[in-house]
Amino acid sequence: MDTGLIHIYCGDGKGKTTAAVGLTIRCVGRGGRVVFAQFLKTRETGELAVLQQLDAVTVMRGEGPSKFTFQMTPDELEETKRQQRALFHEIVEHCRRETPDMLVLDEALPACRLGLLPEDELLSFLRTRPDTLEVVLTGRDPSERLLALADYVSEICKRRHPYDRGIAARAGIEE
């Protein structure tokens, strides 16, 4: 790749992480190396099970929250902030040292929106990243500053979802 660009997959629809996994597979299929990092997610999923089997993919996940942020006590929220920031700093250090071809920051957008990942630090990294590093950000409600920096913005809109009828996430489909 000549130039690394920034992708955003956002919106309230299903498929943001799936799109990022697809790009990961495409990059690896062409000989690239990928760091696939997840914020705010702790559940083991089918896509992670496959990505962890690929030598060219480094999966990075920190200790994630066991509940939604609105359910947390102030102490739990502070601990979650510490964990998510530590994960981000580990990711940045790894990318500067190992120079992968692609970096996926899954759920980085809500981590920023919730104040768990300082947006200024993310923006600084995006502006100073290695020139060839392709970066993919996923989640809902990206800020205007992140949108302005992105080269690709794809909004995934939910029109209908089984969750609205009380159908929980299913292994192999949503997880």
Q: pLDDT tens digits for 77-114?
A: 899 899 999 999 999 999 999 999 999 999 999 999 99
Per-residue pLDDT tens digits of the chain, which is 175 residues long: 578 999 999 999 999 999 999 999 999 999 999 999 999 888 888 899 999 999 999 999 977 667 788 888 888 889 989 999 999 999 999 999 999 999 999 999 999 999 999 999 999 999 999 999 999 999 999 999 999 999 999 999 988 888 888 888 888 777 7
The domain that holds 112 is classified in CATH as: 3.40.50.300
How many domains would you assign to the chain? 1
104 lies in which domain range? 6-159
- Indicate whether 64 belongs to any domain: yes
- Indicate whether 141 belongs to any domain: yes
Beta bridge partners of 10: 139, 155
Q: Report the distance separating Cα 143 and Cα 109, nearest Å.
A: 8
- Indicate whether 75 belongs to any domain: yes
The count of C-alpha atoms lying within 13 angstroms of the C-alpha of 119, restricted to the half-sphere facing its C-beta, is 14
- Full-prediction pTM beyond 0.85? yes
- Indicate whether 172 belongs to any domain: no
- Which residues 6+ apart lie within 8 Å of 36 measured at CB? 20, 21, 24, 51, 57, 58, 59, 60, 104, 106
- Which residues 6+ apart lie within 8 Å of 67 measured at CB? 76
Residue among 71, 16, 62 nearest 40 (CA): 62
- Indicate whether 34 belongs to any domain: yes
Structure tokens at 164: 């609205």
- Indicate whether 115 belongs to any domain: yes
The crossing angle, in degrees rounded to 10, of helices 74-98 and 119-128 is 0
- Indicate whether 123 belongs to any domain: yes
